[in-house]
Amino acid sequence: MKKIFDFNGNKEMKEMVINEKTTTESLIHLTPAALKELILKYYANETVTALKKKYRITRSKHTIVKAFPTVSFSNCRMCDKPIWSRLLVRERKNIISFEEELWCHACKHQENSSICQCENETCTKERIFQKEEIRRLQEEEERRKQERDKKREEERRKLKEVQQKIRDEMEQRGLGREGMEIDDQKVKIEHNEITIEIINDFTIGGGGKLKNENELSLNERLILGAFIRGTQLEGTTDLQIPLMNKYLITPTLDFFDQMLDYLIKNQLISPSRSTALTECSINQYDEVSFNKMMIRYRVNVIPSHSYKNMVQNLIFPKSEDFLKDREFCQEIWCKIAVGEVMADLDLSLEKKNIVYSPRKVHQQVFEYLINYFSINQIYNITNNAGNRLSTKLIEGTIHPSDAADSMIMHIENYGLKAIREKWDVKPFYRQTRESILTKMIFNNVLTIGDAGYKEVARKYFQ
């Protein structure tokens, strides 16, 4: 088996043993110490010509490495005799490569216990133990497999019951399954257990391990806290999205959609037991779905003390917990800043009766500009672009369908030129509908208040 290691200062090289019995005729005049020195200098990249001259190697029928005797870097674990290795041609400076014997010539022991047949008592016991351990692991795996199969079978049985209940409910409401599809506002339940729990009042969690409050990451705590703050219902632990006010939780609807998907995917929230059966449906493929904007949720986290105390900690996060991680704080500042300027763009186009659907390429423009400008400065750039667009629309030089792209192009060009020519872009102060998440980041987490709009995030943390 080929092995390599850096021998420069390596203790294994100092302990290298020369097998004098395998010394070739061309090297027999050298002492073991001289042989070791020759080998070290060869792997230190000294030229073969210089080595032959210095060590008077004149009659070698082989390449110099083939003339080297076998060496040992370690002894057999069973009999403590050397395990001999054949040195190989050097590959790069200070790297020794050798072919190690797979078995000990003295006692026939092999470290690969599956093929070792030596008679050493210790090795025999180890082989017996390993075989028993392998058998035990195989039996354990078979037992677990049977338990999983049994659990899946029980889940399938329960799921059929749930599906039938939903079908019955749909029939009572005069709904059929033909032609039904899961639209963008519906989430397919990947863990059937969740659906079963909605109906049968089992433990919510989809079979996954619930997180403890103190195990939540900074991002999980922030996102979950903002969601709870904007959706909690009076007199209950249920959460429900306020359809007319969801913009208030995050700067944009797209941002909110990402937040909700993140919470569901990471099982930080689950459908509440109070979710009405009428909110569930089954399509022609027998896929159970629910309207993620309509159902009630519950927090899927185990409190460290009490639920009330956990909610208080989440909706009023402590800045000292977050400010330790400056990189995270800068990242969330930039992210919420992009959300705020995207919301401003949306509002500006809405005032011009332009229907706008956010696109990734538009977001990327703001993600770049936010590295150089504050939110208020980008408000100014957007306002300038909006005025320019209004003029074009009045003159009829641009079609409304191209308005959003035109405005973004102007913002990008203006921003890049301002960066290149180092313009002092003036701030524009706008009365905005500040979202819950924005308030939490600027007031509770970063404790900078209005400075979140006036300062450039990356410059602030330099």
> Can you tell me whether residue 212 is helix, strand or coil?
strand
The rounded distance, in Å, linking the Cα atoms of 374 and 370 is 6
Distance separating alpha carbons of residues 41 and 35, to the nearest angstrom? 10
Rg for the chain (alpha carbons), in Å? 36
> What's the rounded Cα separation, in Å, for the pair 116 and 118?
6
Residue type, 208: G
Reading the chain (462 residues) residue by residue, the pLDDT tens digits are 445 555 554 555 667 788 888 888 888 888 888 888 888 888 888 888 888 888 888 765 557 888 888 888 888 888 888 888 888 887 666 566 666 666 787 888 887 777 787 888 888 888 888 888 888 888 988 998 898 888 878 767 776 776 677 667 667 766 554 434 433 333 334 334 444 444 443 233 344 467 889 999 999 999 999 999 999 988 888 898 887 655 589 998 889 989 998 998 888 988 787 766 666 666 555 566 677 888 888 898 999 888 999 999 999 999 999 998 999 999 999 999 999 999 988 888 888 888 778 788 888 999 999 999 999 999 999 998 888 888 888 888 888 888 888 899 999 999 999 999 999 999 888 777 789 999 999 999 999 999 999 999 888 876
CA angle 204, 208, 212 (to 5 degrees): 80
Q: Which residues of 49-62 are buried (b: 16+ CB within 10 A; e: fewer)?
A: eebeeebebeeeee
Helix 326-351 and helix 360-369, axial crossing angle in degrees, nearest 10: 120
Question: Tokens 């991002």 — which residue?
Answer: 219
Count of Cβ atoms closer than 10 Å to residue 117 Cβ: 11
Residue in 204, 164, 206 with CA at minimum distance from that of residue 188: 206
- Local structure of 400: helix, strand or coil: helix
The size of the chain, in residues, is 462
pLDDT score at 78: 85
Q: How far apart are CA 380 and CA 428, in angstroms?
A: 5
Task: Please provide the DSSP assignment of 250-310 as one string.
Answer: SSSHHHHHHHHHHHHHTTSEEE-TT--GGGEEE-TT--EEEETTTS-EEE-EE-SS-HHHH
Residues 6+ apart with CB under 8 A from 382: 341, 344, 345, 348, 407, 411
The region, left, alpha or beta by phi > 0 then psi within -120 to 50, assigned to residue 9 is left
Residue 243 exposure: Cα atoms within 13 Å on the Cβ side: 7
Could you identify the residue written with the tokens 């990356």? 458
User: Given the DSSP bridges, would you call strands 186-188 and 17-18 parallel, antiparallel or unpaired?
Assistant: unpaired
Distance CA 459, CA 260 (A): 31
Question: If DSSP codes are grouped into helix, strand and coil, which group holds residue 73?
Answer: strand
Question: What local confidence, expressed as pLDDT, does residue 206 receive?
Answer: 41
Q: For the whole model, what pTM was predicted?
A: 0.57
Q: What is the pLDDT, as a whole number, of residue 182?
A: 37
Q: How far apart are CA 323 and CA 344, in angstroms?
A: 28
Distances (CA, A) of 425 to 138, 335, 375, 448: 69, 21, 11, 22
DSSP code per residue over 79-137: T--EEEEEE----STTEEEEEE-SB-TTT--BS-TTT-----HHHHHHHHHHHHHHHHH
Helix (H/G/I), strand (E/B), else coil: 432: coil
Separation CA 242–CA 238 (nearest Å): 13
Backbone angles phi, psi at 23, to 5 degrees: -65, 130
